[in-house]
């Protein structure tokens, strides 16, 4: 009746990988959403936001269908790696990328949208190309957005349960993440383990949110000189 460290480690691994990949993917998407004024941007925003409102079981169901070895994606993966995406760690990563997408995109989109275009114009006239402007002006001015996106993505990935249950199952060391371990403890009436895991997740969530809110205050934007 000890804390399931394996499940916690797997959870941390899943959340870290998901966060890193999602920040990389969300950066161009969020930039485009923040800067484009095409009329169909609203459609893309809607799709990105869907995981916020859909019951996890809906996403879980579609992923179950999509990742099954009979489907094209599942079959391609099986042919390439010799393993099934369902009930695998890789499948969990893929699912996490989808259901945590809005938590990465939306803070970045807000951050990019609030970077004053005048500053980018000034940088351009000083000879800065687009990648240069992005790295030296946009990224530093969006650091709060990145912090929020990273923490929310990480925490939301840690907190997901329904989808993981549907497509990951409960394989120790492969798909048995913290929320699943807690669920199983309760199912098997091991309330001692359940208490430990629940407390661990509660403490983690509290600390994460505390970090976000406190650092957001510390990093509060100074009035942008000259603007």
Partner 1 sequence: MVSLTMSVKLARDYFRLSIDETVPLAGTLGILGPSGAGKTTLLRLLAGLDCPDDGRIAVGTTTWFDGEQGVYCPPHKRGVGHVFQDARLFPHLSVAGNLRFAEQRRGGRRPLDLDISGMLGLVPLMHRMPHTLSGGERQRVALGRTLLNAPEFLLLDEPFSAIDGEHRLEILSLMRDMIAATGLPTIVVSHNLSELSYLADRLWVLRAGQMVAQGPVADVMNRLDLQEVSAQADAGSVLQATVRDHDLHYQLTRLVCAGEMLTVAGAIGSRGDLMRVRVYAKDVALALTKPVDSSIRNVLPTEVRAIVQLPGTPYVDVLLGVGDTALRARITKASADDLGLETGTRAYALLKAVSVETA
Minimum CB distance to partner 1, residue 161 (Å): 39
Minimum CB distance to partner 1, residue 76 (Å): 41
Cα-based angle 175, 22, 96 (whole degrees, multiple of 5): 25
Minimum CB distance to partner 1, residue 129 (Å): 5
Which of 118, 205 has the CB closer to partner 1?
118
Minimum CB distance to partner 1, residue 119 (Å): 6
Say if residues 153 and 127 touch (Cβ distance below 8 Å). Answer: no
Contact track, partner 1, 138-167, x by CB under 8 A: --xx--------------------------
Say if residues 96 and 157 touch (Cβ distance below 8 Å). Answer: yes
Q: Is 38 left (phi over 0), alpha (psi -120 to 50) or beta?
A: beta
End-to-end CA distance of the chain: 60
How many C-alpha atoms does 173 have within 13 Å on its Cβ side? Answer: 0
| Dihedral pair phi/psi, residue 95, rounded to 5° | -60, -40
Minimum CB distance to partner 1, residue 101 (Å): 28
Interaction residues for partner 1, span 96-135 (CB under 8 A): 118-119, 121-129, 132
Which of 132, 187 has the CB closer to partner 1?
132
Counting residues that bind partner 1 (by CB under 8 A) gives: 23
* 117, two tokens: 């275009």
* 222 touches partner 1 (CB under 8 A): yes
Positions in the binding site for partner 1 (CB under 8 A): 118-119, 121-129, 132, 136-137, 140-141, 221-227
């Amino acid at each position: 009746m000890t804390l399931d460290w394996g499940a916690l480690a797997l959870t941390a691994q899943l959340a870290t990988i998901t966060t890193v990949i999602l920040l990389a993917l969300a950066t161009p998407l969020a930039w485009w959403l923040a800067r484009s004024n095409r009329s169909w941007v609203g459609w893309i925003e809607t799709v990105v936001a869907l995981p916020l409102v859909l019951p996890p079981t809906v996403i879980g169901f579609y992923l179950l269908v999509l990742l099954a070895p009979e489907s094209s994606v599942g079959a391609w993966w099986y042919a390439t790696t010799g393993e099934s995406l369902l009930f695998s760690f890789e499948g969990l990563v893929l699912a996490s990328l989808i259901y945590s997408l809005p938590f990465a995109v939306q803070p970045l989109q807000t951050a990019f949208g609030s970077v004053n275009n005048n500053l980018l114009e000034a940088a351009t006239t000083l000879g800065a190309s687009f990648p240069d402007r992005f790295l030296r002006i946009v990224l530093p001015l969006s650091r709060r957005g990145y912090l929020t996106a990273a923490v929310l993505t990480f925490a939301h990935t840690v907190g997901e349960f329904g989808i993981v249950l549907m497509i990951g199952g409960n394989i120790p060391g492969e798909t048995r993440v913290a929320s699943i371990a807690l669920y199983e403890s309760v199912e098997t009436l091991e309330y001692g383990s359940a208490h430990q895991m629940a407390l661990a997740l509660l403490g983690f969530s509290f600390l994460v949110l505390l970090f976000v809110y406190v650092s957001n205050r510390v990093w509060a934007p100074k009035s942008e000189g000259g603007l």
